[in-house]
Copies of this chain bind each other. A is one copy, B any other.
Amino acid sequence: MLLVSESLMPELVTTAKEAMQRITQARSSGETIGLIPTMGALHDGHLSLVQAAKAECLFTVATIFVNPTQFGPDEDLDQYPRTLEQDMEALAAHDVDFVFSPNASEVYPSGFSTYVDPPDVAKPLEGEYRPGHFRGVCTVVLKLFNLVPADIAYFGEKDYQQLLVIRHMARDLNLPIEIRPCATVREPDGLAMSSRNAYLSDDERRQALALSDSLALANDLVANGETRSASILDEMKRVFKKAGIENIDYIALADPDTLQDVPAITQPTQALVAAHVGNTRLIDNRRIG
């Protein structure tokens, strides 16, 4: 374990007022401000966002907030891993300027009732299987953009639809911030990094490879000349069956901008999968074609 002395820890800010004071000061110094919104339980995927921010911003802020409004009633809000101490150490190692981790009552005060009604691109895929999810995501992301006004915000391509939803929201609501996508970070065997991987048993961890394997297969099929979506989807489904995963939410080949299904791979296409491995719901995606 890497020992980090207290003095190297980024400052932990929990109130909107303090966060705004620090941002205002950084802004008045003319520093470009980078924002990395997270729900904590940080892994190398998150840290790659921090690295991208550090590379282009003089002042970087990570937020850690497990946002209740983006979890459905039967989802894993209570179980979601909370590892603030380790998260702070990881962020210290990457030298972020401060960490904003507000209480739920600070973010959702009594009487709160205004939401963002998300853009059309929120409707398919995750939108069908997690009703209300993107409403919660858009609302909290807009709130964080206002609480910690930054020049550039960093989001992982691992949550591809979320990235699109936030980009469309930013365009539609004229948000004065750039949305910067960062490539998915994977384990050596291909599994996309996710805080939810911590839920997996050893057996489930092996099964979970079906997600990235099916995407790799789709990529190979297209590289070898297959263009018919139906055939590719069948082959992908077979990967899940073989791994013993029965509970698939979706396997999709979609337009990368609209997420509408495409019947044939005639141009770059987003392959997206979501499935339950044991009790853990995982998602992954990859650009193919």
Contacts and interface: CB of A to CB of B under 8 A. Distances in A.
Interface of A: 16, 20, 109, 111-121, 135, 138-139, 142-143, 146-147, 149, 168-169, 171-176
A115 to B, nearest CB: 4
Nearest to A143: B174
A20 B176 contact: yes
A258 to B, nearest CB: 9
A280 B109 CA distance: 39
15 contacts: A109-B171, A111-B168, A112-B172, A113-B119, A113-B120, A114-B118, A114-B119, A114-B168, A114-B173, A116-B116, A116-B117, A143-B173, A143-B174, A146-B173, A146-B176
Contacts of A143: 173-174
Contact of A117 (B16, B112, B117, B120): B117
A116 B173 CA distance: 9
A111 B176 CA distance: 18
A270 B135 CA distance: 33
Contacts of A135: 117
A143 to B, nearest CB: 5
Contacts of A113: 119-121, 168, 172
Rank and list the top 7 A-B pairs by shortest CB-CB distance, nearest first. Answer: A114-B172, A146-B174, A113-B120, A115-B117, A113-B119, A114-B119, A117-B117
A125 to B, nearest CB: 16
B176 A149 contact: yes
B109 A142 contact: no
A138 B120 contact: no
Contacts of A120: 111, 113
Nearest to A135: B117
Q: Which of A20, A138, A146, A175 has the most CB of B within 10 A?
A: A146
Contact of A142 (B119, B138, B149, B173): B173
A206 to B, nearest CB: 40
Nearest to A172: B114
A117 B118 CA distance: 9
B20 A169 contact: no
